[in-house]
Amino acid sequence: MAPSDRNREQARVALEQHLGYGFKDRALLNRALTHRSAEADHNERLEFLGDGVLNFTIAAALFEQCPDAPEGDLSRLRASLVRETTLAAIAKEIELGAAIVLGPGEMRNGSRRRASILADGVEALLGAIYCENGFDAAKRVILHLYAQRLTDLPSAASLKDAKTQLQEWLQARSRSRPEYELVEVTGADHCQHFVSRCRLADSGDSVEGEGGGRRKAEQDAARRMLEKLGADS
């Protein structure tokens, strides 16, 4: 076995230990860990399947764990648990990056650490476990990976975006909805910078926010308005 192959197999053994699951079908494991930049037999179909298994499992876990939570809160909690940043963090915890197979171009670009590739790899692994051993096996691995996160759930209110928080704060006080206005767009097409204004018609208060997109600028403006109103605590 060549040194590179030996290192890759060692990385996969370590990965399986983190998962608490050992693959009998090594070809299936190889497919789950192969990015589309490397070869035709890549992991995108497994990623699609794993995404569905993950979403259902987390939804069911939250449904059981939070019996009094309304649908909106459950949706926000699930979104926070299955989003790219969370999956990428899990990938780092299980040392997934060392086991991924990338094409030469992606290797040169340092894509082994890219959040999107790591997150997709986690979903592909879950899809592969489902294919090899069924839903119960995939569920066990998911609950193992998410055990601490399900124990330490944030409050659903803390997951609301700034615009939602501002609107709800104003509605609770029978005040009018905030108004948003695009003030300025600067920069080249591929790296534009946006400035948006948030204004309260009933008081005349206004603040400006900025970001790499209109929505981000509006969210930043809403956050600053919450701070101005003292409603951010």
DSSP 51-65: HHHHHHHHHHHHHHH
In the residue annotation, 51 being an active-site residue is answered as: yes
**152 known member of a binding site:** no
Catalytic residue (one of 16, 25, 39, 51): 51
**93 known member of a binding site:** no
As to burial, measured by CB atoms within 10 angstroms (0-12 exposed, 13-18 middle, 19+ buried), residue 67 is exposed
Catalytic residue (one of 16, 106, 123, 189): 123
- Distances in whole angstroms, Cα of residue 10 to Cα of each of 5, 34, 45, 92, 99: 9, 16, 25, 16, 8
- Measure CA 94 to chain center: 16
Tokens 């990976």: give the residue.
Answer: 145
The first and second tokens of residue 28, run together, are 């299936």
Contact 25, 132 (CB under 8 A): yes
**47 known member of a binding site:** yes
In the residue annotation, 123 being an active-site residue is answered as: yes
CA dihedral over 78, 82, 84, 88, signed as positive or negative: positive
Task: List, in order, residues 6 or more apart from 2 with CB less than 8 Å away.
Answer: none
Cα separation, 94 vs 110, whole angstroms: 18
What residues are designated binding site for Mg(2+)? 47, 120, 123
Residues making up the annotated binding site are 47, 120, 123
Positions marked catalytic = 51, 123
